[in-house]
Amino acid sequence: MTEQKQDETGSAGYVEPGSEFTRDTHYIATRITADGRDGYPVESGRYRLVAARACPWANRAIIVRRLLGLEDVLSMGLCGPTHDERSWTFDLDPGEVDPVLKIPRLQDAYFARFPDYERGITVPAIVDVPTGQVVTNDYPHITLDLSTEWTKYHREGAPELYPEELRDEIDEVAELVFRDVNNGVYRCGFAGSQSAYDSAYDRLFARLDWLEERLTTRRYLVGDTITEADVRLFTTLARFDSVYHGHFKCNRNKLSEMPALWGYARDLFQTPGFGDTIDFVQIKQHYYMVHTDINPTGIVPKGPDLSGWLQPHGREQLGGRPFGTGTPPPPPQSGEEVPAGHGA
C-alpha cells in the first residue's frame, strides 16, 4: 500500500513500500499576469499571499516579495508552524482567523474555488480577496511571476532576480538544486528503504560538493548579483543544520563544515530580505512536531547554536553586487518582523 507523506507545504507526496519519496508537483496552474490572460490580472490590493515561515517553498515567496518591495501591493497572511491532516491554520492571528480573508483554515479558500479539491492544501498560495478563492499554489511560478509580471509595482531600486539574458542558466541551476537539494533532503528524510535513502543521500551530497566548488570562486550562483537561483537554494541551506542534518538524516557533515557554502549562506542571511525572514523557532517546531512518524515524541531540540549566522563571511572579496544597480529593501514592515528571539 502506498504511504502518504506530507512535507511542510501540507502537500502531498507518497512513498511506495520499500521505495523513495515522490513529491506531488501537480499544483493549481492559474497565473496572475500583467495581461490577465488567465482571468486574474495584476492589481494592487486585490490578492493576498498566504505563507508560513516554517516552509522553505513559502519562504521563497516571502523573500521575493520583500526584495521587490511589493508589501503595499500584495498583502500577506501567515499561518502558524504546524498543521493537521486537513490544512494550515491561522492560529497566529487573533481568534485564529485571518484578518483579511476572515477564514480559520487555508482550505476554506481552496474549497471556495474547488469544492471537491482533493490534493494537498499547500503554502504558498495566492488568494483573490474579493471572492475568497485561491488563485494559485504553483510556488515556482509565483516567485517568477512576482519578478516578471508585477514589474509595474516594483519598488525603486528593486533587483532584477530573473534577468532575461541569464534565464537559461538560472533555470538549469535551479533544476539541479531542486532535484538533488531542495527535494533531495525530503527524499532522504522520507525514504521508504535503506537503498532509497542511500541513493538520495549520495545525490544530495554530490550536489552540495558541486555547489561548494562552484561557490568557492563566485559569490552568487549565476552572474554577479542575487537571482532567483540564490533564493531557491538559500531557503534549504537556512534549514540544513537546524533540521535536515538530524531530523532527515542528512548527516555526512553540517553546512557549517562546508566553507564556501557556509560563507555563501551567511552572506545571504546578512543581506536585507533574507535572514530577516527566517524564524528558526517555527522551522524547528514544524518539522519536529508535524512529522510524528519520524519524531514520534514531538520533542523539539534546543540546538544548534545560531550565533554563527551573524559572523563575518568575507565573501565581499569575490566581488559581485548583491542588488546590481539597485538597492537593499527597507526593514520589514510593522507586523511582519520575525518575533524577537526567533532569529539568529
pLDDT in tens, 283-328: 999 999 999 999 999 999 999 999 999 999 999 999 999 999 999 9
Residue 330 lies in a domain: no
Give how many domains the chain has, as a whole number.
1
Whether 11 shows a pLDDT value over 50: the answer reads no
Q: Please, are residues 320 and 263 in contact by the beta-carbon 8 Å criterion?
A: no
Instruction: Tell me the CA distances in angstroms from 201 to 184, 245, 267, 275, 283, one per residue in order.
Output: 8, 11, 26, 27, 22
Report the alpha-carbon distance of residue 175 to residue 126 in Å, rounded.
Answer: 23
Q: For position 26, what pLDDT does the model report?
A: 83
Q: What is the DSSP letter of 175?
A: H
309 backbone dihedrals φ, ψ, rounded to 5°:
-60, -25
Q: Please, are residues 225 and 321 in contact by the beta-carbon 8 Å criterion?
A: yes
Is residue 88 a known part of a binding site? yes
Instruction: Tell me the CA distances in angstroms from 155 to 149, 231, 280, 308, one per residue in order.
Output: 14, 18, 28, 32
Q: Please, are residues 73 and 44 in contact by the beta-carbon 8 Å criterion?
A: yes
Q: For position 1, what pLDDT does the model report?
A: 35
Q: Could you tell me where the beta strands, DSSP code E, fall in 137-222?
A: none
Would you place residue 25 in the very low, low, confident or very high pLDDT band (cuts 50, 70, 90)? confident
Would you place residue 24 in the very low, low, confident or very high pLDDT band (cuts 50, 70, 90)? confident
Q: For position 22, what pLDDT does the model report?
A: 72
Would you place residue 10 in the very low, low, confident or very high pLDDT band (cuts 50, 70, 90)? very low
Q: Which amino acid is at 76?
A: M
Q: What is the mean pLDDT of residues 250-278?
A: 98
Q: For position 142, what pLDDT does the model report?
A: 98
Residue 73 lies in a domain: no
Q: What is 80-98 written as a DSSP string?
A: -S-B-SS-BB-TTSGGGS-
Would you place residue 8 in the very low, low, confident or very high pLDDT band (cuts 50, 70, 90)? very low
Q: For position 63, what pLDDT does the model report?
A: 98
Q: For position 316, what pLDDT does the model report?
A: 97
Report the alpha-carbon distance of residue 308 to residue 218 in Å, rounded.
Answer: 21
Report the alpha-carbon distance of residue 39 to residue 240 in Å, rounded.
Answer: 39
> 24 or 96: whose pLDDT is higher?
96
Residue 69 lies in a domain: no
Q: What is the mean pLDDT of residues 159-187?
A: 98
Whether 243 shows a pLDDT value over 90: the answer reads yes
Lowest mean pLDDT among 2-16, 87-101, 152-166, 256-270: 2-16
Q: Which residues are catalytic?
A: 55, 186
Q: What is 23-55 written as a DSSP string?
A: E---------BTT-TTS-B--TTTEEEEEETT-
Would you place residue 266 in the very low, low, confident or very high pLDDT band (cuts 50, 70, 90)? very high
Residue 68 lies in a domain: no
Alpha-carbon radius of gyration of the chain: 19
pTM over 0.85: yes
Whether 46 shows a pLDDT value over 50: the answer reads yes
**Secondary structure (3-state) at 276:** helix
- In this structure, what CATH number is given to the domain that contains residue 285? 1.20.1050.10
Whether 2 shows a pLDDT value over 50: the answer reads no
Residue 98 lies in a domain: no
Q: For position 329, what pLDDT does the model report?
A: 98
Q: Please, are residues 243 and 303 in contact by the beta-carbon 8 Å criterion?
A: no
What residue numbers bound the domain in which 294 lies?
A: 164-318
Residue 64 lies in a domain: no
Residue 130 lies in a domain: no
Instruction: Tell me the CA distances in angstroms from 124 to 63, 201, 247, 287, one per residue in order.
Output: 12, 27, 23, 17
Q: Please, are residues 236 and 182 in contact by the beta-carbon 8 Å criterion?
A: yes
Quote the percentage of the chain above a pLDDT of 90.
Answer: 91
Report the alpha-carbon distance of residue 338 to residue 341 in Å, rounded.
Answer: 8
Chain mean pLDDT for the chain? 94
Q: For position 86, what pLDDT does the model report?
A: 82
Residue 169 lies in a domain: yes
Q: For position 18, what pLDDT does the model report?
A: 59
